[in-house]
Amino acid sequence: MTTVTLPLEEERLLRRLKSGDESSFASLVDRYSASLLRVALVYVRDRAVAEEVVQETWLGVIRGIDRFEGRSSLKTWIFRILANKAKTRGERERRTMPFSALNGAGPTEPAVDPERFLDADHPTWPGHWASPPASWEGIPEDRLLAGETLGRIQDAIADLPAAQAHVITLRDVEGWSAEDVCALLGVSEGNQRVLLHRARSKVRRALEDYFEDT
């Protein structure tokens, strides 16, 4: 089993954690707790349950840190603990799927509703946009960043299939790299890209509908 070469700063942090340094652990909690909670909410809709999952994750980190062998980054290892615990809790709510299902991009589905394109036998523009994505250039920035708009984005992500919700949350909400997402979820780069594209298309469509109605 190969190991990952950890950055020097992370190696030092790991040594302090293994020695029981409380301030280092507190720093780790401050750094990742908010992100852990957002990812937990992909599996479970109830915030109180998600917070319990985060607490269970930190207990798992404390109990397992001595056995951490650097086969992934420390961040990936922590989020993998969360994913395993959240998956178990999420299954009780029927909100998740087996991790093995993430190895494929899911059932074949178009990323964009086919009705938004002209028919293949259109005399002038076959297969071109009939209803292209709306431009948001005229929408004030404060409206795009308003709490209601951000809430609509969160709702749209919550409505996605589990695999797509995982990927868009990690990539676009948490800012993870494609490589880190693939390492955590155990998916190929190609599947990660397809899942992200589908998720982004659906969230954008939900926002288009929201702006048209308001």
Check residue 34 and give its pLDDT. 93
Check residue 99 and give its pLDDT. 47
Q: What is the mean pLDDT of the chain?
A: 78
Pairwise CA distance, residues 152 & 158, whole Å: 10
Residue 184, exposed/middle/buried by CB under 10 A (0-12, 13-18, 19+)?
buried
Pairwise CA distance, residues 140 & 172, whole Å: 21
73: its two tokens: 């980054």
Check residue 87 and give its pLDDT. 86
**What's the mean pLDDT in 1-27?**
84
Q: What is the pLDDT of residues 53-88, one digit of tens each?
A: 999 999 999 999 999 988 888 999 999 999 999 988
23 confidence band (pLDDT: 50, 70, 90) = very high
Check residue 122 and give its pLDDT. 57
Check residue 42 and give its pLDDT. 86
Residue 44, exposed/middle/buried by CB under 10 A (0-12, 13-18, 19+)?
buried
Rounded to an integer, what is the distance from CA 35 to the centroid of its chain?
10
Check residue 170 and give its pLDDT. 93
Question: Which are the contacts of 119, defined by CB distance < 8 A and separation ≥ 6?
Answer: 126
Asked if 205 and 160 count as a contact pair (C-beta separation under 8 A), the reply is no
Pairwise CA distance, residues 132 & 204, whole Å: 12
Q: Is the pLDDT of residue 21 over 60?
A: yes
Pairwise CA distance, residues 139 & 145, whole Å: 10
Check residue 191 and give its pLDDT. 93
Annotate the chain with three-state secondary structure.
CCCCCCCHHHHHHHHHHHCCCHHHHHHHHHHHHHHHHHHHHHHCCCHHHHHHHHHHHHHHHHHHHHHCCCCCCHHHHHHHHHHHHHHHHHHHCCCCCCHHHHHCCCCCCCCCCHHHECCCCCCCCCCCECCCCCCCCCCCHHHHCCHHHHHHHHHHHHCCCHHHHHHHHHHHHCCCCHHHHHHHHCCCHHHHHHHHHHHHHHHHHHHHHHHHHC
Check residue 60 and give its pLDDT. 95
Q: Is the pLDDT of residue 101 over 50?
A: no
Q: Work out the end-to-end distance of the chain between its first and last CA atoms, rounded to an integer number of angstroms.
A: 54
Q: What is the pLDDT of residues 149-189, one digit of tens each?
A: 777 888 888 889 888 999 999 998 899 999 999 989 889 99
Which comes out higher in pLDDT, residue 120 or 21?
A: 21
